[in-house]
Amino acid sequence: MSRLQEEIESRGHLCLFFSKLQCELNWIEYRWGRAKWYTRKNFQYNWPSLIKTVPKVLQEIPSLLLLKYWWKSTRILDAYSAGLPYETEQFTNIRYKSHRHVSLAQTPC
């Protein structure tokens, strides 16, 4: 156990380390990706503009979008835990786009 992990857990928190090779498991990566995309589109490619734009974009990412990123990462982690490779037909068939959607394959006859 690392000292960082000991410090975090000694204060009553859970410490999770994600794989460096599977960025899709960490929802924060989606947030950073969104922030980088927005920053590239909205700054004048100079240092003062970058200093002003980055904090602004990090605050403007909607909470609902962050929740969607978290759910996406959770679904991917669940698929890996179940032994399903992500983006396979088996995994994508159980995904719903709406709370009102009923899959015909799972409807009883």
3 occurs within a structural domain: no
Q: What pLDDT shows up at residue 17?
A: 80
Q: What pLDDT shows up at residue 86?
A: 65
67 occurs within a structural domain: yes
Written in H, E and C, the secondary structure of 46-77 is CHHHHHHHHHHHHHHCCHHHHHHHHHHHHHHH
48 occurs within a structural domain: yes
Percent of the chain with pLDDT over 90: 31
Structural domain range at position 40: 23-85
Q: What pLDDT shows up at residue 107?
A: 42
Structural domains counted in the chain: 1
106 occurs within a structural domain: no
Q: Alpha-carbon distance 82 to 9, whole Å? A: 28
33 occurs within a structural domain: yes
99 occurs within a structural domain: no
- pLDDT tens for the chain, 109 residues: list them: 789 999 999 999 998 887 777 788 888 899 999 999 999 988 888 999 889 998 999 899 999 999 999 988 888 888 878 887 766 776 666 555 555 544 444 444 4
17 occurs within a structural domain: no
